[in-house]
Structure 1
């Protein structure tokens, strides 16, 4: 018998595994908060065109027009 706590197949006890998972989560949250770099000009133009097309479709969609009085 050993004095070590029971370990999972990867050799990491539950307390250490939880600490590692929390550290990874903190790092991912920090990375997600970083400011995104500016998009290349061509991609920015294409996204603007797509948004304009979506707005035009929504404006003419029967579901978005008010019902007749």
Structure 2
């Protein structure tokens, strides 16, 4: 599925495709960060749980959550 390139698939109109791509460990950091603002809550949640998410973004999420 990722033969088309993770960055391209991360912009797919189907939220299910974006969610699968968001969980891919080789998705570039800028695409992960962009998907945090995805209109699909499940896509954004998948990205937020990714260990590949840049540390600064993890800290931002924790700050917004009041942790």
Q: State the TM-score, normalized to the length of structure 1.
A: 0.27
Give the greater-gyration-radius structure (CA).
1
Could you state the TM-score of these two structures normalised by the residue count of structure 2? 0.28
Bigger relative contact order, structure 1 or 2 (CA pairs below 8 A, ≥6 apart): 2
